[in-house]
Amino acid sequence: MSENKIKYIENNVLEEGYYSIEHKSGLQIFVYPKDDYASTYAVFGTKYGSIDTRFKRSDRENFTEIPAGTAHFLEHKLFESEELDAFQRYAKTGASANAYTSFDRTCYLFTCTGNFKENFEILLDFVRHPYFTEETVKKEQGIIGQEIDMYKDSPEWECLFNLLDAMYVNHPVKIDIAGTKQSISEITAEMLFACYDTFYNLSNMALAVSGNTTVEEVLGVADRLLTKDEEVTVERAFLDEPAEIVKDYVEENLPVATPVFAFGYKESHDAPERTLQEEIAMSLILDIVAGQMSPLYKELLDDGLVNNTFSTEYFHGYNYAAPLFSGESVNPREVAARIKKAIGALKDSLITTEQFETVRKKQYGKTVRAFSDVDTLANGLVVSHFVNEELFSEFEVIKDLDLDFVNNLLVRSFNENTAVLSVVCQKQDN
């Protein structure tokens, strides 16, 4: 254990903390003990998502281009082995296991109330030992092809990606995380191994465990199973994305009882990634504009224009960002018009000190409550590491946030020329 560099990071507000470990294998490991919890949650993630379709390894001269959907495809295939797949192994221990691919990461996880060491060994084992053949890849192409068709029948999923397709000209965020039937048909076993060797290098990954566990328990397994990779860094490359949108309205017809909508503003910033300060400031702005205590939300609800599906989100990642409003509405165009009007009025008057302090206190309380959830903690540790932040940084950012900074973000982020409305509705009979 002496070869591992261990640091304890404590938060005075919560009176608890976590261990940050630079493991001798090159992997960053986090352990957040919760002694009074019965369950344990572990997540093993790599900074590799659906947008990573063009990249260059530090030990290669040329960029590699891969088909859309490869990261998601690789996630599916990694559960397989020559004998029992990982789900079958977890079924024997009683753990609940899963995985997900997002735009910028892929994560493998489990939660259990017993047999932690055995479950942890399964996680480290299958993620570290890929098994692909051309035959199994071909079989998976059919399975994921069916999954892509299934997503096409999801109004909310289609609405989001129609929005992104209308918003972004070149950025791969506009392409479904699972890819297309055409793109996944181009994936080969050789290609999967190449992506695995690049992005599943331990220096590009992070592991977090929270709940009923100890540092000694986690490192006892990690020290035994993890060996050092030859360190490789990855340079990502994207085509230039113009500030302009493709179109401001897109509509698709699907059998829905009530139209589904997504409305957002494409942002343009100098830096490729948003800071934690910008992320929190935008969440405060969205709460003021359309949160459940806002005049706009009450107005939309009273007029029957939205229901309890209405929500806001700051959608952002590498080279993309957009504040979004979504839900169901009998008149999405009117909802979008009222959101625009409310934002325009707020930009004219600016956020007051009273409004700012109210939502800041609310955000602080929400952050405190999140630390009671072990899966939120573990996933938060991985995500924070991938964006070079510490898990507790949010407390200081909220406390130090400046009203002028929030108002400046408000003024520059909501450009009516980059607003897009996406609607999925029932086709009207002529």
Catalytic positions are 75
- Sheet containing 54-57: which strands, arranged edge to edge? 64-65, 54-57, 234-236
Q: CA dist 20 to 5, 31, 34, 389, Å?
A: 8, 7, 15, 12
**3-class secondary-structure state, position 119:** helix
User: Rounded to an integer, what distance in angstroms lies between the CA atom of residue 32 and that of residue 379?
Assistant: 11
β pairing state of 64-65 and 96-101: unpaired
What is the b/e burial string over 185-206, where b = at least 16 CB atoms within 10 angstroms of the residue's CB?
A: eebebebbeebbebbbbbbbbb
Half-sphere exposure of 321 (CA within 13 A, CB side): 21
β pairing state of 419-425 and 249-253: parallel
User: Rounded to an integer, what distance in angstroms lies between the CA atom of residue 149 and that of residue 277?
Assistant: 38
User: Rounded to an integer, what distance in angstroms lies between the CA atom of residue 20 and that of residue 4?
Assistant: 10
β-pair partners for 252: 424
Which segments within 23-163 are labelled E, that is strand?
28-33, 40-46, 54-57, 64-65, 96-101, 106-112
Q: What share of the chain is helix, strand, coil (3-state, %, to 5)?
A: 45, 20, 35
H-type helices in 226-352, by residue range? 276-290, 295-302, 332-349
CA 48 to chain centroid, in Å, comes to: 11
User: Rounded to an integer, what distance in angstroms lies between the CA atom of residue 132 and that of residue 80?
Assistant: 8
H-type helices in 50-115, by residue range? 70-78, 86-93
User: Rounded to an integer, what distance in angstroms lies between the CA atom of residue 357 and that of residue 346?
Assistant: 16
